[in-house]
Structure 1
Amino acid sequence: MAFAVLICSALTFHGSVARAQNPQADQSSSKPSVFRVKYVADGSLYIDAGRNANLQEAMKLSLVNPPPDGVVSDAVRFRGYEHVAELKVVSVADSSSVCEIVSSNGEIKAGQLAFLTPDSVVERREAVDAAEEDKYPIVMTFTYGDPLEEEVRTTQEQKQLRESPAGQIRGRIGFDYGGVHEAGGLNGKQVGLSISSDISNIGGTYWNFKGYWRGNMNVSSSTPTGATPTTLTDLLNRTYQIGLYYQSPYSPVTIGVGRLFLPWAPSLSTIDGGYLGRKITRLATVGFFAGSTPDPTSWSYNPNQHITGTFVNFEAGDFEHTRFYSTAGIAVTSIQWKVARQFAFFENNLSWKRYITLYSSLQADEARTSPLVNGGSNPTGVSQSYSSLHIQPFHRVGFGVNHNYFRSLPTYDPRLLGTGLLDRYLFQGFSGDVRVELMKHISVYASVGRSKATSDKKNSLNQAFGLTVPNLWKTGLLADVHYSKFDSSFGSGKYTSFSLSKNLSDSFRIQFLGGHQTFNSALSANNSSNFVNAVVDWNVGPRYFVEGNFGWYRGTTMNYQQWTTVFGYRFGGYRKK
C-alpha cells in the first residue's frame, strides 16, 4: 500500500512540475480582459482580440468609454464606468472577434473599450484549465473501471460542456387597440398583436428566435367591406422581419422559418415561409425555399404572390481578410396559384476587409405571359440587375459606383417613397455616391447619376442627398434629413423626409417621421402626399411597457388619421431597479 501511495505522489509531483514548466498553464490570468473596438458595423462591432486572448463564441462583454487618463488596463473593469453597451461574441478569428450588440445605452464608436463580464472571465479560465487537464490526464486508479476508458469519457464530457452555447432571452409582447379615421366621416377600429424577440440558443441549442412583427385586424368599420385603406403604418409593419433560425458550427444544416429573407440571396423578396440549406462540402451549400411575398418594398411586389425555388452557394474566406460568396438558383412565382414568373437568379459578393466591396445581383426570366388580366408578356432575358463597387479607404469616408437596370416597371408600393425604403429603385443606369462622417459623428451622403432606360428618349438626372446629426444642438436628438429627385422610365418625382428620435431616459423613447412626396407615374394615382408618423415608448417598471402610435396622411386620393395604443409585457434582459 505504501508503495502505491509513493507512486501516486511521484505522478502528482511530475504533473505539477510539467505544468510549472509550461508557460500556458496559467495563461488565463496572463491574457488581457480589456480590448479596444476596431470599427463598428450595422448591429455589430469588431474588437482587437480573438483566439490569442482565449475568446470563444457566446462570451459576453461590457462596453465603456476609454478612461480620461488614456491608460488601458484590467483596472478599467473595476472603476465603475457607465456601460455604453452589452456585447456577445459571435465569431472569433486569430487576433480579432465580431461581437453582436445585445443592448446599448449610448453612442457606439471605434476606440471604446470592451471587457469580459465576470461570468465570461470564469468561463475562459475554466476552458483553459480543462484544456490543460486534457494534456496531463491522471490515468491511475485503485478503485474500479478501465482507466483509459474513464479518461476518454471525462475528456468528452469536458468538450461537450465547453461547446454548449450560452443562451439569452429578451423580448416584448404587446396587445394593440386603435382606429382609423378617413375623410368623409368613415371610421374603423382595430385590434392587434406585436412581438419583439431576441432569444438565442434556446434551451442550450443553436435555435434562435429573433426579430419584430406587428399585425392587426379590423373589428368594426363604417366603410364597406374590404374598403378600409392600407395605411403607411400597415405597409411599414410588413417590412419588418422575425423568424426561428437554426445555425450550428457543428451541423451542416441551416434552417429558417418565419418572415425572413434568404441569407444566401438577400436580393430576393422577403418571404413568409422558410428555407433549408445544407453544406455538401466545406465551401458549398445547397438548399430550397418557399413562401409568400409580403414586402411592399420589393421591386416585384404583389400581395397575392407566392415563390419557391432552389439554389447552390459557394463561400470562402472571412471578413478579416478576403471574402467571396456566389449564389445561383432558379425560382417560380405564382399569383392566385397561376405561374407568373420562371426565372434564374445570381448573386455575387467579393470583399477585402472593410476597404473594397464588389456586389452584383441579376434575375433572368423565361418568356412568359402574365396570368393577370392585361398583365402583358415578356420575352426571355434579363429582367433586373444591380451592380456596385464600394471603396472605403478611411473609416470616415466611403464612395461607390452603381448600375441599376429594370426591363419592366417595378411594382413596389409607391406610398413608401418618402420613407427612403425605395431609394435603390429610383435610379436607373449609372450613378455615383459618397458618404462622409464629419466631426462629432455628423454624416453626409450624396448620390448623383444619369439614367436612360430602353424606352426613354433622353437621359435624365437623378440626385439624392442626406444628412444625419446624432446630437442635434446638444439635445441628444438624432436627426436625419433626406431629399431625392428622380426621373426614370417608371415615373418621376421628388421627396423630402425628416426624422427625429431620442431616448429621454433608459425607459422613455420618442420617434417622429414626416415628409412630402410627389410621384407622377402610371403605378399610382396618388400623385402628391404629406405624411407624419410618431411613436412614444415608455417602460413602466421592470416588466411592462406602454406605446402610442399616430399616423397622419394627406394625399391626392387618400386622407386618413390612424392611432394605436399598446400595452405589453417585457421578459428577460436586464431589470431596471
Structure 2
Amino acid sequence: MTRIKIFLILITILGVITAQEVEIKTFKIKYISASHIYLQGGEKDGLAVGDELIVYNGSEKIGRIKIEFVSRYSASASVLEKQRDFKIGDIAKLVKEEKTAETAISSQKTDSLISERKMPPYQRKRTAPRALKTKIDGYVSGQYYYFKDLGARKLNFSQPTMRLRLKIKNLWNRHYNFELRFRSRYNLRDKSFSANVPKSEWQNRLYEFTFDYNAPGAFLTYKLGRIISNAFSGVGYIDGALANLKLTNDFYFGLFAGTQPDWRTSNFQTEIQKYGGYLKFERGKFGSKKINVTLAGVGEYHGGTVSREFMYFQVSYYHGRRWNIYHNVEIDVNRYWRKERAKESLSLTGFYLNANYRITSSISASLSYDNRKNYYTYELRTLADSLFDDAFRHGLRANVYFKIFKDYQISLNFGLREKSTDANFSYSYGLNVTRRNFFSKYNRMSFRFSGFDNIFATGFSPNATFSRYLRGGHYLTFSYGNYYYQIKNINDNKLNHWIRILGQIELPARFYINSTYEYDWGSDVKGHRLLFELGYRF
C-alpha cells in the first residue's frame, strides 16, 4: 500500500510539472516616467489591463509591475514592488500561469487527494469556478482638423470628429463581452466642389458593434451585431449573427447569416444578404508550433438575385519564433448572369502568400505574393468590360530588417507589380534608418526614403524625423520631408515640401492631448494644417 501511495505521489508531481507548463512572454522597457513604466508591446502581443509582470535585469529579479493601460502596440504599467531602480532595456516577463510541484502539493495534501479519488462522485468536493472580473478598456476623444489654403483656389476645410472605442470584457462576471467602434465627422468646406461633394456633410461610421459569448472550451460560442471575424478575413463585415461549435479540441464548425453594410458609407442596409459556414482546424500555441486552417463557403444575394458566391481557404503556420507563413485563396462560383460575364464556372479571384523568416536575432526578412483580382457583384453587373481590370493587383514585395549594434535599426523594402493592361512592371522601394538614444537615451532620429515608378509617373520622397520622449509619457516629434514626381506623358515635374510638429501630453485622470501642426508648400499645395485631439482612456 505504501508503494502505491509513493507511486501516486510521484505521478501527481510529474503531472503538475508537465501540465502546468509556464507560458512566458517578454517585453522590453522602452521608457520610464515619474509614475509609469512603458513597455514595447501591447494588446496585439497578448497584454491586457490588470496583467502583472516580473522585471529582470539579466537573470536578476528586480521588481514587479501591473498593466494600467494598453493600446495595440504599447502599454504602460505602475510599479508594485522593486528591489532597485528599473532601467530602459530591462525585461518584463508576463507569466500566464505559474505553479510548481511544491505549491501544488502544499495546497492539497496528497493523501487527501488519493482518498477523494476513491469517493463516489456525489461525495467529492466541488471546486467553485474562478470568479471573473469585468474589465473596461478603450477611449473616447474629440478631434478638430483645419486646413487653411494659401493657394489661389482658397479651398479651406474644417472637420470636427468624435471617436469612440469601447471594450467590456466579462460582463456580469461571466464570459460575455461587448465591443463598440464608432466615428462621427462633419465636413465643412468654404466652397462646394460639385453636387457629389457638397459644401457640408456628415460622415458617420459604425465599424463594430458586437455582443459575444466566448468561454474557453465551451461547446457553443457566438457573436451578435456588426461582426468582422478573423476566422475568415475574406468574408468581410456582416450585420447579423455568428455561431461557433467546438467539435473536438482541434476542430470548429461555424455558421453566420446577416446583411452586408454599405461599403461606401458603413450604413445599415438590407438589400444584400450574406450567408455561409466554415470549418476550422487549430492546433498548437504561439511561441512554439501553431497551425490554423479554415475553409469557408459564402453566398451574397440581392433579394433573389445572386451577387456573389465564393469559397475561401486560409492557412497560417508558426514555427516557433523562427518563421511563419500565411496563405489565402478565393474561388468564385459563377452562376446565372455571373457566368455570362466571367465566361467560366469557377474563377480564381484571390491568391495571397506571405512568409516571414528570422535569420538571426538581428536580421529578419519577409516575402509576399499578391494576385487578388476584381470580381463582378450585383452592383457592378452593368460595368463595361473596358472598365473592369481583370488583374488589378499582381506582384511581389520583399522586406529585410537589420538591427545593427545596439541602437541602429535598418529596414529595406522593394515591390514589383504588373497589370494585364500594362506594358511594363511598376515598382516601389524604400529605406528606413532609425537611431535610438540619439545624443540622449530619450531621443530617436529616423530617416526614410521611398520611391516609385509606373507607366504614368515616377517619383520619390525623403523625410527625416526627430522624436523626444519626456517624463510622464509625453513626447514631441519634429519632421521635414518633400515629395517629387513627374507625370510622364506630359513631362510635368512637381515638387512639394512639408514640415510637421507633433506632440502628446498625458493629463491626470487618464486624459490626454494630441496635437499636430503642418505647413505645406510647393507645386500642388500651400497652407497650414492643424489637428487637435482631447481624449480619455477607460
Q: TM-score range by the shorter chain?
A: 0.5 to 0.7
What are the Cα deviations for residues 352-378 of structure 1, in whole angstroms up to 9, with x where unaligned? 11222122122334569999xxxx965
Q: 3-state SS of the aligned residue for 1:114? A: strand
Alignment of structure 1 residues 458-497 onto 2, 5 Å = 458-474=424-440, 476-487=442-453, 493-496=459-462
- What is residue 204 of structure 1 aligned with on the other side? 173
2:426–2:455 Cα contact (<8 Å) kept: no
Residues 175 and 193 of structure 1 are in contact (CA less than 8 Å); yes or no, is this contact kept in structure 2? yes
Which one-letter code corresponds to 2:76 in the other structure?
Answer: S
- Measured after TM superposition, the shift of residue 276 of structure 1 is 1.9
2:67 to 86, 101, 114: 86
User: Deviation of residue 175 (structure 1)?
Assistant: 3.3
The amino acid across from 1:227 in the alignment is V
Aligned AA for 2:163?
S
State the match for 1:114 in structure 2.
93
Equivalent positions of 1:155-234 (< 5 A) are 155=126, 158-160=127-129, 162=130, 164-182=131-149, 184-187=153-156, 189-197=158-166, 199-209=168-178, 213-218=182-187, 221-224=189-192, 227=197
Q: Please identify which structure carries the higher strand content.
A: 2
Report percent identity of matched pairs.
14
Q: Indicate conservation of the 8 Å contact 1:494/1:519, yes or no.
A: no
Specify the SS of the correspondent of 2:128: helix
Cα pair 2:445 2:467 within 8 Å, conserved: yes
Deviation per CA, 1:346-399: give whole Å up to 9, x if none: 22212211222122122334569999xxxx965552233221232213332222
Find the counterpart in structure 2 of residue 575 from structure 1. Answer: none
**Deviations, residues 516-571 of structure 1 (Å, cap 9, x unaligned):** 5559699xx99986666665332332253334344666797777655444444444
Give 1:249 shift: 0.4
Instruction: State whether residues 49 and 68 of structure 2, in contact with CA within 8 Å, keep that contact through their aligned partners in structure 1.
Output: no
Q: Is the 8 A contact 2:210 2:223 kept in 1?
A: yes
- Partner residue in 2 for 1:285: 253
**Unaligned runs of at least 5 residues, structure 2:** 1-5, 29-39, 79-85, 376-390
Match of 2:76 in 1: 103
Residue 113 of structure 2 is matched in structure 1 by 135
**TM-score normalized by the length of structure 1:** 0.61
Q: Structure 1 residues 314, 397: CA separation in 2 closer, same or farther (over 3 Å shift)?
A: same
Residue identity in the other structure for 1:216 = R
Q: Secondary structure at the match of 1:227?
A: coil
Equivalent residue number for residue 369 of structure 2:
403
Quote the Cα distance in structure 2 between the aligned partners of 1:291 and 1:108: 48
Distance of aligned partners of 1:368 and 1:185 in 2 relative to their CA distance in 1, 3 Å threshold? farther
> Is the 1:340–1:370 Cα contact (8 Å) retained in structure 2?
no
Q: 1:329, 1:404 → 2: CA distance?
A: 20
Q: Which amino acid is 2:429 matched to?
A: Q
Counterpart code for 1:541: P
Partner of 2:402: 436
Partners of 1:558 and 1:230 in 2: CA distance: 22
Q: 2: distance between equivalents of 1:170 and 1:440?
A: 35
Instruction: Give me the whole-angstrom Cα distance separating, in 2, the residues matched to 1:242 and 1:477.
Output: 40
Q: Counterpart amino acid of 1:64?
A: V
Which AA in structure 2 matches 1:200?
Answer: K
Q: Secondary structure at the match of 2:292?
A: strand
| Cα distance change on mapping 1:227 and 1:133 into 2, 3 Å | farther
Deviation at 1:324, TM superposition (A): 1.8
The equivalent residue for 1:418 is none
SS in 1 for 2:406: helix
Change (3 A) 1:103 1:179: same
| CA distance in structure 1 between the partners assigned to 2:487 and 2:350 by the alignment | 22
Instruction: Give the whole-Å Cα distance in 2 for the aligned partners of 1:211 and 1:501.
Output: 32
Kept in 2, the 8 Å contact 1:366–1:379? The answer is no
Q: Determine if contact 1:429/1:451 at 8 Å carries over to the other structure.
A: yes
1:535-554 pair list within 5 angstroms: 535-550=502-517
Question: How many residues matched?
Answer: 477
C-alpha separation in 1, matches of 2:426 and 2:488:
15
8 Å CA contact retained: 1:87, 1:103:
yes
| Aligned-partner SS, 1:400 | strand
> Whole-Å Cα distance in 1 between the matches of residues 233 and 332 of structure 2?
18
**AA in 1 matched with 2:197:** A
The answer on 1:359 being equivalent to 2:326 is yes
- The answer as to 2:437 corresponding to 1:448 is no
Secondary structure of the 1:389 match is: strand
Could you tell me which of 52, 70, 78 is aligned with 1:61?
52
Query: Equivalent residue of 1:440, what SS?
Result: coil
**Alignment correspondent of 1:37:** 26
Contact 1:355 1:393 in 2 (8 A): yes
Contact 1:239 1:295 in 2 (8 A): no
Structure 2: distance between partners of 1:241 and 1:151:
48
Matches within 5 A, 1:264-413: 264-266=231-233, 271=237, 273=239, 276-282=242-248, 283-288=251-256, 291-292=260-261, 308-312=274-278, 313-331=280-298, 341-366=308-333, 378-380=342-344, 381-408=347-374
Q: Retained in 2: the 8 A contact 1:238–1:295?
A: no
Residue matched to 1:420 = none
Change (3 A) 1:174 1:458: closer
